[in-house]
Amino acid sequence: MIKRFDGMVLTVSDVVRSQAFYKTVFNMEPITEGSCKGVRFEEQTIWLQSIGEELRHHALEGASHIVLLTILPPETLSEHFQSLQVELLEPPKDQGTFVMFLMHDLDRNLIAVKSLKQDD
């Protein structure tokens, strides 16, 4: 039935600053289409809107929770976050087939990153 998500929208305090965060931390491409701004990775898009720009839903800053999946090994991902001084909410958790990393973005949206373990 559902193949993938076409896009999601996060409410943020500063769209340009958030684009820079997602580019630096997750290597997502900042995009602009008309008056809309966001970030893209592969075929997935996260649109960014400022408070007050919501069309219908009066979303709150930091009210979202997204889960990302990476093929980077946990050790490499951990080193990447350390080099950028990304503050994790708790130590990475081994969940069997993946390791989970939890953090906030600049607007306190909860970001979970699942790092798939490599087969030995």
Distance of CA 99 to the CA centre of its chain: 16
91: domain range? 8-116
Predicted confidence (pLDDT) per residue in 16-59, tens digit: 999 999 999 999 999 999 888 999 999 899 999 887 776 655 66
61-106 tens-digit pLDDT: 667 888 899 989 999 999 999 999 999 999 999 999 999 999 999 9
Domain tally, the chain = 1
Residue 49 belongs to some domain of the structure: yes
Distance CA 6, CA 3 (A): 9
Residue 60 in any domain: the answer is: yes
Nearest-angstrom CA–CA distance, 106 and 68: 16
Task: Please give the angle made by the CA atoms of 56, 18 and 28, to the nearest 5 degrees.
Answer: 105
Evaluate whether residue 77 is within a structural domain.
Answer: yes
For residue 19, give the CATH number of its domain. Answer: 3.10.180.10
In a domain, 2, yes or no: no
1 found inside a domain: no
Domain-located, residue 98 = yes
